[in-house]
Amino acid sequence: MATILVVDDDANIRELLRLYVEREGHRTLFAASGEAALELAMRTKPDIVLLDVMLPGMDGLEVCRRLRDVSDVPILLLTARSAEGDRVIGLDLGADDYVVKPFSPRELMARVRALLRRRRRGSDAADEPMLAADGLVLDPNAVVVELDGRRLDVTPNEFRILHALMRRPTRVLTRDELIDAVHGDDDPGVLDRTIDVHLGRLRRKLGDDAARPRFIATVRTVGYRFAAPVERVAPTPPA
């Protein structure tokens, strides 16, 4: 059973989502404002946050930004805005997915199930070797990325993309393959633009120049590849 925090100021939507979430055997928590959502998320540590963008006071984008500063909890945005720019902002702030209102509750729950599966796969994974390249170290077991000895604040999706690229450093991965790395085959509706947003944000955190890449190279019209040689390092056993 997962704990899902539903953040929406519309009581009808909260009740609708409660019915669908609890029908699948999960526990629901509720907040009607951004301030209440932050307090509840910090106190209860939910497994997923369903977060409306249009909230009174502190909006959902600001809640997303503040949550991502302190937690890697999956965040799924609920937005009435249809402009691509608003969705891109949410992804750029660290949201994992979004649905546009009015949404199908069945589609939303399919996305929730996909997020839960990815979270469980990450926590159940057997020890894998660390991947190291030119000062960059990715630890798939601790879900940590370090660059030149400094830990990077990467989102779960950014981590999955970097992991996929570093595992196959000589191979060009298409956008579809990177979508599969992030979302699996659970959501065929993910746009190529979503992957580009994640990659752009990841490159900024790596200090990478797309024109002269240290780590991530663009292969025009095809996809992306990891540009540096990768060494596999056995994980350090616990003391």
Q: Is 11 exposed, middle or buried (0-12, 13-18, 19+ CB in 10 A)?
A: exposed
Tokens of 49: 């946050």
Q: 192-206 and 84-92 helices cross at what angle (nearest 10)? A: 40
The pLDDT, as a whole number, for residue 22 is 93
CATH class, domain 130-233, is mainly alpha
Q: What are 79's two structure tokens?
A: 């937005």
For the stretch 60-79, pLDDT in tens is: 999 999 999 888 899 999 98
CATH 3.40.50.2300 fits 3-124, yes or no: yes
> Is residue 189 very low, low, confident or very high in pLDDT (cuts 50, 70, 90)?
very low
Read off the pLDDT of residues 75-129 as tens digits, 9 standing for 90 and up. 999 987 665 666 778 888 888 888 888 888 888 998 898 888 777 765 544 567 8
CATH 1.10.10.10 domain range(s) in the chain: 130-233
Contact 131, 233 (CB under 8 A): yes
26: left (phi over 0), alpha (psi -120 to 50) or beta: beta
Segment 154-170, tens digit of pLDDT: 888 889 899 999 999 88
Output the CA–CA distances (angstroms, integers) from residue 9 to 34, 44, 53, 67, 137, in the order listed: 9, 20, 10, 18, 42
pLDDT band of 188, cuts 50, 70, 90 = very low
Find the distance separating the first CA and the last CA of the chain, reported in whole Å: 32
Amino acid at site 202 = L
pTM for the predicted model, two decimal places: 0.61
Mean pLDDT lowest among 116-120, 200-204, 222-226: 116-120
Alpha carbon 211 to its chain's center: 26
Beta strands in the chain (DSSP E): 3-7, 27-31, 48-52, 75-79, 97-100, 130-133, 136-139, 144-147, 150-151, 173-174, 216-219, 223-226, 231-233
What's the rounded Cα separation, in Å, for the pair 75 and 198? 14
Burial profile 16-32: b = 16 or more Cβ within 10 angstroms, e = fewer: ebbebbeeeebebbbbb
Q: Where in the chain is the domain with CATH 3.40.50.2300?
A: 3-124
- Give the separation between CA 137 and CA 139, rounded to whole angstroms: 7
